[in-house]
Structure 1
Amino acid sequence: MDGTRRPTLIASVQRALHLMEVVVAHPSGAPAKQLARLAELPLATTYHLLRTLAHEGYVTKLPDGGWVLGERLADLYAQGRAQMTLARVRPALTALRDELGVAVYFAVHREGGIELVDVVDGPRERRVDLSVGFDEAAHATALGKCLLGQLDEPSRGDYLTRRRLLDLTPHTITDRRALSRGLVGRDGLSYDHEEYALGTVCVAVPVADASGGLTGALAVSCRADRLARVQGAGRRLHETAARLSRLAALS
């Protein structure tokens, strides 16, 4: 004997997982008898497992008697995709933070709103105090402007008309026409010149893929007196954005 201990396995869990694999392979639904045969399980065991899985929301029974995946599994899948995206992109955000000494943000436009995926900061450059969320203050942030600038006019108009443009600082742009004209600068960057918080400026670049499946933005924030340094790193921001686009597409 090599002394290697075999892991302790729970047979009932294995049976449930094998049964789930069979259910996944039949998206239109399959009756319990067919599932039992394909999973090589006794019919009684299959019924017990299906009832338990249905109680927990992992499978559901159709009116015709077939079994399909339940809503809870779909929720777990969506959460898992989000975590995989986070695991892929955070190293790139951290590297940019360490190189430029700024707080770094990554957000996407999803289901009509702005979703902040991740933020990395440090003891010297803290993230902006998000007293007003990015979704409610897109007009006042470089991140929000960058995302709005990637939408077509009907989608952008719908977004802006459904939200009140809050006047957060003396520099906040609350006129919709003026805002639309200044979403993206000639250098391809979007800016927040102390429009969200006094003393803080932000710069953002688009994060998108060729297929149009991703509408995202990479942004950095810093003290107002450091804006020139961040502007000088525009090429580095675009390089990181291109990397994020590739990484997010893998999730």
Structure 2
Amino acid sequence: MIGSVQRALRLLEAVGSHVDGAPAKQLAREAGLPLPTAYHLLRTLTHEGYLRRENGVFVYGPAAERLAGGGALQKRRTTIVDSLSHWRDAIGVPVYFGIYREGEIELVAVSDTPEAPAVEEWAGFRETGHAHAIGQCLLSQLDEKARKDHLDRHPVRPLTRNSVRDRATLLERLASMERMQPVVEREQYALGTVCAAIPITAGSAAATMAISLPAHQADRLRPAVEQLRSEVGTLLHTLAFSISI
């Protein structure tokens, strides 16, 4: 093992044990390091942004905060996937969770199995929201200005023979959707696949959960999405995490 890395990590742990920071001498003592070694490592960690010195004490810097944030992000995503996996197993379909954030469609998590695989992303989900249930559900929750801005950046283009053909037709379809009702898409994004999405109220952002099935099992789509919709309230606390990450 690399000794300098171990010593630097001990210093970072020592800094983390003090809410208001600590001076170099105290950190050296707590990390069990000679003072000259501690000074050298503290300068290096400060230069790299892992620490910063304020009024004679060392506290975590932006690089360390980014590391902590990344860990929290991964934990939240894992929690979301675990929740989706429950419904994947209960309903027997792939389950997706997406949000609309900073002007873009983001697929946060997917849970599927080899026996019930998710739809292959052959054309970027972000750019083709007009053609899949997740995107249509998210776009339907936006106000008119935000919706048109999105379509200016990501123009409507048919992906299959069943896709919405043009912008006007899509806008008309979105305007006609009933609030909080499932959005169903049949082979608009990928031939051989049908999908349904339900809008989610989790914070102020537009969000959705969705499922997909092979086209030959299309008769299962409505019952499956209704089952998901009837019980999704139990997941809202978990899904709301993703709005803040």
- TM-score relative to the length of structure 1: 0.76
Deviates more, 1:239-248 or 1:155-164: 239-248
Deviates more, 1:234-243 or 1:116-125: 234-243
Counterpart amino acid of 2:212?
Answer: S
**Residue 225 (1) aligns with residue 216 (2):** yes
2:194 to 184, 201, 207: 201
Partner of 2:145: 154
Distance in 1 between residues matched to 2:115 and 2:70, nearest whole Å: 32
Distance in 2 between residues matched to 1:79 and 1:166, nearest whole Å: 36
**Residue 13 (1) aligns with residue 9 (2):** yes
Partner of 1:90: 81
Distance 1:174 1:54, change over 3 A: farther
Distance in 2 between residues matched to 1:88 and 1:178, nearest whole Å: 38
Partner of 1:173: 164
2:104 to 113, 117, 128: 113
- How far is 1:225 from its partner? 3.0
Partner of 2:46: 54
Distance in 1 between residues matched to 2:128 and 2:171, nearest whole Å: 14
2:128 to 120, 137, 147: 137
* RMSD across aligned positions (CA): 3.1
- How far is 1:111 from its partner? 2.2
Contact 1:100–1:230, Cα closer than 8 Å, also in 2: no
- How far is 1:21 from its partner? 4.9
Distance in 2 between residues matched to 1:134 and 1:61, nearest whole Å: 44
Distance in 1 between residues matched to 2:128 and 2:241, nearest whole Å: 30
Percent of residue pairs bearing the same amino acid type = 35
- How far is 1:164 from its partner? 2.3
Distance 1:65 1:40, change over 3 A: closer
Counterpart amino acid of 1:89?
Answer: I
Contact 1:108–1:216, Cα closer than 8 Å, also in 2: yes
Q: 5+ unaligned residues in a row in structure 2: which ranges? A: 1-5, 30-34
Q: Secondary structure at the match of 1:99?
A: helix
Q: 5+ unaligned residues in a row in structure 1: which ranges? A: 1-9, 27-33
Counterpart amino acid of 1:201?
Answer: V
Q: How many residues align?
A: 230
Distance in 2 between residues matched to 1:204 and 1:124, nearest whole Å: 21
Which segments of structure 1 move beyond 4 Å, counting only runs of 4 or more? Answer: 37-46, 64-69
- How far is 1:77 from its partner? 3.5
Deviates more, 1:154-163 or 1:133-142: 154-163
Contact 1:139–1:174, Cα closer than 8 Å, also in 2: no
Counterpart amino acid of 2:22?
Answer: L
Distance in 2 between residues matched to 1:127 and 1:160, nearest whole Å: 26
Contact 1:19–1:39, Cα closer than 8 Å, also in 2: no
The CA deviation string for residues 154-196 of structure 1, in whole angstroms up to 9 with x for no partner, is: 2222111111223200111142232133237447011222110
Distance 1:66 1:139, change over 3 A: farther
1:237 to 199, 214, 228: 228
- TM-score relative to the length of structure 2: 0.78
Contact 1:167–1:173, Cα closer than 8 Å, also in 2: yes
